[in-house]
Amino acid sequence: MSTHYDIKQEILSKFKCDRCGECCKIRVYVKSEDILRLAKRLRIKSGTFAYKYIQTKGRFKFLKDPCLFLTNNECSVYNARPDVCRLYPFKLDMPVLQDVEGCNLSKDIYNVAQEIEQIKSSKFMPQQEFIENVYKKRFGDKRGEDSTKDIIFSYEDLEYLAKELRKRKDILISWHIP
């Protein structure tokens, strides 16, 4: 479970997702807990699941992409989906909102954060030094190609955003139900 998993889910629950399915067409990282949960959902052994649905890169495991569980633009294993899918467009283990072309959800969250920033001074400003350090720690000098436009929060910012959203009644309902 990532740090601030619940906070990210709470934030996502305030927004509407277009259900465009674009995030199901990229590489999805899976942890052992995800594999066990999905195998249980499909009533198959985790080894069989891994053989059919997983690709490995180095020490990391991913769903084969595009995801085989996407059927008619719907997730066929929604309640058992990997944590990465539950938190998208947030990154799993970092307080990072991915700026994804075509993802209305990331744009909407960003816009609200910016709006709050205007009211509350310097909160939600990208913290370049922070993210550089996080990426460096995780990936050495190799930063992800898609990371350059990511929006970086501190964990305090995320908590602050969640707190502000709790006060609002006009936020759309999300399909990101935990």
- Binding residues for ligand SF4 (CB under 6 A): 17-24, 28, 67, 69-70, 75, 77, 81-82, 85, 88-89, 100, 103-105
Which contiguous run of DSSP H or E holds residue 153?
A: none
**HSE-up of 129 (CA within 13 Å, CB side)?**
0
Nearer to ligand SF4 (CB atom), residue 130 or residue 175? 175
State the nearest-atom distance from the C-beta of 77 to ligand SF4, in Å. 6
- Cα angle at 15 between 128 and 134, to 5 degrees? 20
Nearer to ligand SF4 (CB atom), residue 57 or residue 167? 57
State the nearest-atom distance from the C-beta of 81 to ligand SF4, in Å. 4
DSSP-based three-state secondary structure for 38? helix
Nearer to ligand SF4 (CB atom), residue 24 or residue 112? 24
State the nearest-atom distance from the C-beta of 176 to ligand SF4, in Å. 8
State the nearest-atom distance from the C-beta of 133 to ligand SF4, in Å. 27
Residue 126: count of CB within 10 angstroms of its CB: 13
C-alpha closest to that of 171 among 116, 89, 97, 93: 116
